[in-house]
Amino acid sequence: MESVHPSLLNHIIEWRKLPSDSPEEEELRQAITARLNQLESAERESLVLKRIGTAFKLHHTTAPTSLHAAHSIRGALDLLAVRVWVNINCKLTNVATAQERPGRTNIPLSQTPANATTVATWEIWDTCLRALLPLQVDQDKLGFIELFAPRERDRFLHERDLHITIAEQLSLVIRSAQLFENVETLATTDPLTGLSNHRTLQDFLAEQCDEVRRHRSRVGVVMVDVDHFRLFNETYGHDAGDEVLIRVGKALQKAVGEKGLAARYGGEEFTLILPGADEQTTEIIALSALDHIRHVVFTAPNGEQKSITASMGYACGPTHGTHPERILKIADQALYASKHNGRNQVSSPDQIPKAA
């Protein structure tokens, strides 16, 4: 501790003047010890709250913010482990775990907190001490934080106010991260299909093309157009057209998975961006996406079922260009080759008419 409070310093000076083992000396020594513990707790609280705030400044989104905060809390309080649980889509999810020695402690970390828990609890387990504190802002239940300490650390059970303060601060930070994510989602996601929007597509493709130019990597681009989409709108109405787009979007997302990005280019057009994909891989994924769309069936109000198909074209960088505009143009020309040749198919740049 860099400095000592003046009143505490006076108490220490007075204590040193008293005879050893006298009642006055014992009483003053206990008072000094208590005051030192208070100052240490205040310093620990200030440190951990500062680190939680830093976690949000560095990351902004829920999972990395929670992970940074969990490690900061564990380190500042010298705990065995910290776990953060957050309600995501009505499901309690472990978004962060910080352990002193991952996989080498006897802490039972498989237990999931009960959603019904609304009050903080402190428990003595066979292998450790555990605190479970709800994360909540007003009436909104965000999740829980778990703190684990060694069995022999008696002070842990006396720091309940500090634990509650940590939970309150972390709740505010997680809520801020969630609000930030909501804003980001609105800015980067197509509201109808839930896929990435045109802006996100362009930004992502620009990044991938930059990688192609600088590090000689590859990128595949697939342009997708729903066949005869105008007929759905004219025959069944715009709500039917929206349903078709939503289901096509889900099919494309399923086909791409974690291999790339599926985006709505505009209207009934979609785009797939496939980092690291060569021509063969791009064609395979495009054919898979086409097959997923063929399994989409639209049921009209009169019960009639209509199959959905799409036309696709692809291009790859650096083979067909190293800039977004060039690769998109080649993929779009290949798409129109598919439409010209009867739709419901995938075309490569080699199939583009020479006059295109």
**What is the DSSP track for 316-331?**
EETTT-SSHHHHHHHH
Domains of the chain: residue spans and CATH: 6-186 (3.30.450.40), 198-351 (3.30.70.270)
- C-alpha distances (whole Å) from 41 to each of 44, 62, 146 are 5, 28, 19
What is the structure's pLDDT at 15?
56
- At residue 234's C-alpha, the angle toward residues 229 and 235, to 5°, is 95
Q: Which of 120 and 11 is assigned the larger pLDDT?
A: 120
Question: Does the structure show a pLDDT above 70 at 321?
Answer: yes
Give tens-digit pLDDT for 221-241: 999 999 999 988 888 888 889
Per-residue confidence (pLDDT) for residue 197, from 0 to 100: 94
- pLDDT, position 68: 87
Please report the pLDDT score of residue 236 as a whole number. Answer: 87
Q: Is the pLDDT of residue 3 over 60?
A: no
Give the global pTM: 0.60
Whether 18 shows a pLDDT value over 80: the answer reads no
Q: Which residue has the higher pLDDT, 202 or 58?
A: 202
Residue 39 has what pLDDT? 53
pLDDT at 157 over 50: yes
User: What value does the mean pLDDT take over residues 287-313?
Assistant: 92
- Rounded to 10°, the helix 238-256/279-294 angle is 140
Q: How far apart are CA 99 and CA 96, in angstroms?
A: 10
**For residue 2, what pLDDT band results from cuts at 50, 70 and 90?**
very low
Residue 323 and residue 295 in contact, taking contact as beta carbons nearer than 8 Å:
no
Mean pLDDT, range 207-227, rounded to an integer = 94
In angstroms, the CA 72 to CA 47 distance is 9
Range 107-112 average pLDDT = 70
Q: For 224-233, 284-293, 347-356, which range has the lowest pLDDT when averaged over its residues?
A: 347-356
Residue 9 has pLDDT above 70, yes or no: no
340 has pLDDT over 60: yes
Q: Quick one: tokens of 190?
A: 């197509």
163 compared with 24, residue with greater pLDDT: 163
Q: Does pLDDT of 301 surpass 60?
A: yes
pLDDT score for 50: 76
- Write the pLDDT tens digit of every residue in 116-139: 678 899 999 888 999 999 999 998
Model pLDDT, residue 1: 40
Q: Compute the distance between CA of residue 248 and CA of residue 254 in angstroms, rounded to an integer.
A: 10
Q: 27-31, 45-49, 51-55, 272-276: which has the highest mean pLDDT? A: 272-276
| Percentage of residues of the chain with pLDDT beyond 90 | 54
